[in-house]
Amino acid sequence: MTKPDHQLPKTLTGEPRAFFGRRSGKKLHDGQQAVFDATLPALEIKLTGALDPRTLFPEAQKIIIEIGYGGGEHLALEAGRHPDTGYIGCEVFTGGIGKMVQTIAAQKLANIRLYTDDALKLLMQLPEASIDEIYLLYPDPWPKTRHHKRRFVSPTTLAELARVIRPGGQFHFATDIEDYANWTLAHIVRAPQFSFAPENPGGWHEPYPGWEATRYEQKARREGRLVSFYFSFMRV
């Protein structure tokens, strides 16, 4: 059933922005479902209006969002490494949410909250300059030209990212698809709120400090996609 337009994120022209993402997958087995049902309610962010992320993590030194965390490998690793940072993970794919919930329970990670709908809806409800960093790692590239409008990086989303990331904060974007890398750079150069100043030419092919390859990245390497792009854009 289609939601009313007023519940959908809007484009810069005010038109509803449709969400194109998988929301289901393989059914969780009984054990997974039990952990999911018992754990998710305490972790899930339910929007009822504007949200100050500091209410989620009142003692946190930093607050970081990861959009589309997939199996949650990077999110869990970083949360374990930085217990004084609050993390918000955004994912709509039920298989990924299930894995993340299991990991949080198994590792007793107390500094993660989960949002299970379109990440743009969350961004639109956050205060200005309320987030320190945002990660978008290996998003769906929607390779067909007619589907490019479905890519997460767009003028609409970059405007919201720029609004919620504090000055001096960063937007990190990684992909193994060169066309999507070029697409993102083309949008960034049109967004004066962000700067891109790599330390050396080609340095964007070097993983982020402390990076450990996700299952998606390992799969890409097996399939012959051997080069990735690891961009970091600063909010000016």
Q: Active-site residues: which are they?
A: 140
How far separated are the first and last CA of the chain, in Å rounded? 41
Contact in structure between 175 and 139 (CB atoms under 8 Å): yes
Q: Kindly provide the residue ranges of all beta strands, DSSP E only, lying in 179-221, ordered along the sequence.
A: 194-195
CA distances (Å), 194 to each of 74, 175, 180, in order?
24, 19, 18
Separation CA 17–CA 118 (nearest Å): 10
Contact 90, 122 (CB under 8 A): yes
DSSP string, 94-121: HHHHHHHHHHHHHHT--SEEEE-S-HHH
Q: Which residues pair with 87 in a beta bridge?
A: 64, 112
CA distance 104 to 107: 5
Helices then strands (H, E): number in the chain?
7, 7
Helices 178-188 and 155-164 cross at an angle (nearest 10°) of 60
Phi-psi bin for 41: left (phi > 0), alpha (psi -120 to 50), beta? alpha
